[in-house]
Amino acid sequence: MSGETRVASGETRHYRDLLVWQKAVVWVESVYKVTGTWPSEERFGLTSQIRRAAVSIPSNIAEGCTRRSTGDFVRFLLIAKSSLAEAETQLIIAGRLAYIDTAQQSALLDAADEVSRMIAGLINKLEERRS
């Protein structure tokens, strides 16, 4: 049984069991590797911004999972989804500035899409449980 199903069914509430959290952490690692090659003048600009947004994704999943109510968990998942959209936008900007090649950008955006769909699925399961 997947971590999302266990959480949605009430079986477990440990964020490290969630496949979506695990994939989000891997995605953050990928973002850090790619942004490490960006121009040094972007260290306090776009590089810092995308890294903060990326780290926010699994962090909000974890924080929401530890909350006492399903509504709080859903709220934090929505924040994680918003941070993911922010980071995706920053990747698109980085591509337009030629900081990232098309293949790297596509791979990161595809992985982001998977994480986004997983977050949405978990939100749906949690909301079904609340109904």
Q: Kindly list the structural domains of the chain, giving each domain's residue range(s) and its CATH number in brackets, ordered by start.
A: 3-130 (1.20.1440.60)
Which tens digit of pLDDT belongs to each residue from 103-115? 999 999 999 999 9
For every residue of 64-118, DSSP letters joined together read HHTSSSHHHHHHHHHHHHHHHHHHHHHHHHHHHTTSS-HHHHHHHHHHHHHHHHH
pLDDT of residue 3: 42
Of 9, 97, 110, 7, the C-alpha closest to 61 is 7
The segments of the chain whose pLDDT lies below 70 read 1-13
